[in-house]
Structure 1
Amino acid sequence: MKIKLGPLLRAIRNSRHLTIKEVASKAGVSSSLLSQIERNRISPSLDTLLELLEVYGVSPEKFFKDYETMNRVEIIKKDQRRVYQRKGFKYETLSGYSQSKGNHSFTAFFLELAPGQKRGDENDGHLGRELGIVVNGCGQLIYGGDVYDISDGDTLSFSSQIPHVIKNTGKDLFQAYWIVTPADGEDYFGEGNNK
């Protein structure tokens, strides 16, 4: 795979609302050179890359971690999902390993709860946001002091910092696709049995 640093460097510059001319001046390179780097016409020398990252206030470690995440496509076939199962609930991972670290990380999984089962913590939240898409069954989101009824076809999104629990209140299996961002620091799957 051809290495393409330009789009990531351009995205960093744009996120800081800097012009090519401003960055080039601070980094001690020409505007033409920076423009060619951002368009992948030429590759920067290591010294030039380090100068640019210093201007942006981004460590080389973080830059390459973001680059790795940005440039990797991971496909997980249905029969190759990691499955974490305990009595009453099951998670199947949907996102690949490269998505689980860094600034724009996320965890995605398919959730199944047996009737009467619940997942979450009524006393504690965590950093981030969550998106759930219910595909079967009915249940409740217990969010802080509020209770929301949810059923097949509903979507829900919320800040994860508020304590929250998903509970199956129906007689059928509750199934939902779930996305949590950022992924860092949270263990959604626990030790349990996994396949």
Structure 2
Amino acid sequence: MDIGNKLKLLRKQHGLSQRELAARAGLTNGTISLIEKNRTSPSVASLKSLLDAIPISMAEFFSIIEEEDTSKVFYRSEELIEISPSSQGGVSLRQLGNAENHALQVLHESYEPGADTGPEWLSHEGEEAGIVVRGRIEVTVDGAVTELQAGDGYLFDSRLPHRFRNLSDTVCEVVSACTPPSF
């Protein structure tokens, strides 16, 4: 997916200059320019800040069109929507279906060794829960830090500042859910 061009189109549709968007998102104009030209990939947290500044949710940004007359029930691995490819900082977030059409957002998350959600804290409406399927992940929620391993889980009010980091030397996989879809 061409994140840069999609962001540029969205920014222009909302009548924002690169400078205005940068100021609203707390980023530099140069960073916006590099992202829009696909010369750099935003961290998950930076992209969230950009989309909040427009405003549009990540679910809306990465939505796909589902058939109107038939609701899709089953999805193959290749049909999951790549919200953040692993080439963008080692974090891969793949969404199940079009979150705009549902009250629940489900993600398959993969964190390469050393990867994290970025230096900015994440915060969004709703509740978030997940279970570590493989590996270990450090989760910080409102200042509380713990390392979870396969079989462990989390559940919290996602308005609280939070972040995820893989401090181990192996890939970590998490299946998570957020309601309402706001990430």
Give TM-score, length-normalised by structure 1. 0.51
Q: Deviations over 1:151-191 (max 9, x none)?
A: 1111111110100001101110011101111114x3xxxxx
How has the CA–CA distance of structure 1 residues 121 and 72 changed in structure 2, closer, same or farther, with 3 Å as cutoff? farther
Matched with 1:176 is 174
Aligned counterparts, 1:96-135, within 5 A: 96-97=97-98, 99-101=99-101, 105-119=103-117, 123-135=121-133
Q: Count the aligned residue pairs.
A: 113
Aligned counterparts, 1:131-150, within 5 A: 131-150=129-148
**Deviation at residue 79 of structure 1 after TM alignment:** 2.6
Matched with 1:91 is 93
Q: Deviations over 1:6-41 (max 9, x none)?
A: xxxxxxxxxxxxxxxxxxxxxxxxxxxxxxxxxxxx
Give the letter for the 1:90 counterpart: S
Give TM-score, length-normalised by structure 2. 0.55
List alignment gaps of at least 5 residues for structure 2: 1-67
Q: Deviations over 1:34-80 (max 9, x none)?
A: xxxxxxxxxxxxxxxxxxxxxxxxxxxxxxxxxxx9x8343211232
Matched with 1:36 is none
List alignment gaps of at least 5 residues for structure 1: 1-68, 187-195
Matched with 1:160 is 158
Report the 3-state secondary structure (helix = DSSP H, G, I; strand = E; otherwise coil) of the residue aligned with 1:183.
coil
How has the CA–CA distance of structure 1 residues 142 and 92 changed in structure 2, closer, same or farther, with 3 Å as cutoff? same
Report the 3-state secondary structure (helix = DSSP H, G, I; strand = E; otherwise coil) of the residue aligned with 2:117.
strand
Contact 1:121 1:163 in 2 (8 A): no
**Deviation at residue 100 of structure 1 after TM alignment:** 2.4
**Take 2:160 and 2:118, find their aligned partners in 1: how far apart are those partners?**
11
